[in-house]
Amino acid sequence: MRVDGVDSVSRRNSSFLVLCGVVAILLAVLLAYSQTAAFTWDEGFHLLAAQLILGGKRPYLDFCFPQTPLNACWNAGWMRILGDTWRAAHALASVVTAGAVLLAADFIYARFPVAGWRLPAAITTALVLGLNVAVVEYATVGQAYALCLFLMVAAFRVAVLAVERRGLLFTAGAGFLVSAAAASSLLTAAAAPVIVIWILRHSPAGKRWITLFAVTTGAAIPFLPVLWLFAQAPRAVVFNLIEYQLLYRRTNWEDATPHDLGILTSWLHSPTALLLGLLAVVGLWFVARKSAWNDGARSEFYLCGWLAAAIGAELCAAHPTFESYFVLVAPALAIPAAAGLYAIASRIRKPVPAWWPVAVLAVVLSLGLAYSLREDRNKLSWRDMEAVARKVDDVTPLHGTLWADEHVYFLTRRPPAEGTAFSYAEVIDLPEDVAVPLHIASDQALDRQAAAGMFGTVSTCEDDEVIETLNLRRLYRQKAAAGRRCTVFWEPVGPRKPSPSGVK
> Which DSSP string do the residues of 215-242 spell out, in sequence order?
HHHHHHGGGHHHHHHHHH-HHHHHIIII
CA 43 to CA 435: how far, in whole Å?
A: 23
Task: Indicate the Cα dihedral angle 257, 460, 34, 136, nearest 10°.
Answer: 10
Query: Nearest-CA neighbor of 437 among 59, 38, 60?
Result: 60
CA 11 to CA 199: how far, in whole Å?
A: 27
What residues form DSSP beta bridges with 457? 402, 490
Do the Cβ atoms of 196 and 218 come closer than 8 Å? no
In terms of Cβ atoms closer than 10 Å to its own Cβ (0-12, 13-18, 19+), residue 246 is exposed
Please tell me whether residue 346 adopts helix, strand or coil conformation: helix
Amino acid sitting at position 275: L
Least confident segment among 87-101, 181-195, 209-223, 294-308: 294-308
CA 110 to CA 416: how far, in whole Å?
A: 49
pLDDT of 10 higher than 80: no
Question: Terminus-to-terminus CA distance in the chain, angstroms?
Answer: 64
CA 17 to CA 34: how far, in whole Å?
A: 25
Amino acid sitting at position 147: L
pLDDT of 251 higher than 60: yes
Q: What is the mean pLDDT of residues 245-271?
A: 78
Q: Give the pLDDT confidence score for residue 412 in this predicted structure.
A: 96
Q: Give the pLDDT confidence score for residue 373 in this predicted structure.
A: 87
Do the Cβ atoms of 155 and 181 come closer than 8 Å? yes
Q: Give the pLDDT confidence score for residue 276 in this predicted structure.
A: 92
Q: Give the pLDDT confidence score for residue 269 in this predicted structure.
A: 76
Least confident segment among 136-140, 187-191, 252-256, 460-464: 252-256
Q: What is the mean pLDDT of residues 356-370?
A: 93
pLDDT of 3 higher than 60: no
Q: Give the pLDDT confidence score for residue 422 in this predicted structure.
A: 93
Q: What crossing angle do the helices spanning 271-289 and 295-317 adopt, rounded to 10°?
A: 140
CA 234 to CA 204: how far, in whole Å?
A: 40
More confident site: 165 or 72:
72
Q: Give the pLDDT confidence score for residue 494 in this predicted structure.
A: 72
Q: What is the mean pLDDT of residues 226-236?
A: 96
Q: Give the pLDDT confidence score for residue 339 in this predicted structure.
A: 94
| SS3 sequence of 185-222 | CHHHCCHHHHHHHHHHHCCCHHHHHHHHHHHHHHHHHH
Q: What is the mean pLDDT of residues 53-75?
A: 96
Q: What is the mean pLDDT of residues 368-386?
A: 87
For every residue of 245-280, DSSP letters joined together read IIIITTTT-TTHHHHHHHHHHGGGG-HHHHHHHHHH
Q: Give the pLDDT confidence score for residue 4 in this predicted structure.
A: 40
CA 455, 459, 461 angle in degrees (round to 5)? 150
How do residues 262-288 score in pLDDT, each as one tens digit? 888 877 778 888 899 999 999 999 998
pLDDT of 229 higher than 50: yes
* Residue 2 binned pLDDT confidence (cut-offs 50, 70, 90): very low
CA 72 to CA 59: how far, in whole Å?
A: 9
Q: What crossing angle do the helices spanning 208-220 and 168-184 adopt, rounded to 10°?
A: 40
Please tell me whether residue 131 adopts helix, strand or coil conformation: coil
More confident site: 247 or 144:
144
How do residues 430-465 score in pLDDT, each as one tens digit? 888 899 999 999 888 888 888 888 999 999 998 888
Q: Give the pLDDT confidence score for residue 313 in this predicted structure.
A: 95
CA 45 to CA 251: how far, in whole Å?
A: 18
Cβ atoms within 10 Å of 447's Cβ, excluding its own: 24
* Residue 349 binned pLDDT confidence (cut-offs 50, 70, 90): low
Q: Give the pLDDT confidence score for residue 214 in this predicted structure.
A: 95
For every residue of 154-194, DSSP letters joined together read HHHHHHHHHHHH--HHHHHHHHHHHHHHHHH-GGGTTHHHH
**Domain residue ranges of the chain, discontinuous segments joined by +:** 2-375, 382-492
Maximum CA extent, the chain? 81
pLDDT of 230 higher than 80: yes
Q: Give the pLDDT confidence score for residue 136 in this predicted structure.
A: 96
Task: List CB contacts of 57: < 8 A, sequence separation 6 or more.
Answer: 63
Q: What is the mean pLDDT of residues 209-225?
A: 96
How do residues 463-500 score in pLDDT, each as one tens digit? 888 888 888 889 999 999 998 889 999 999 876 544 44
Q: Give the pLDDT confidence score for residue 350 in this predicted structure.
A: 67
Sign of CA dihedral 62, 437, 421, 49: positive
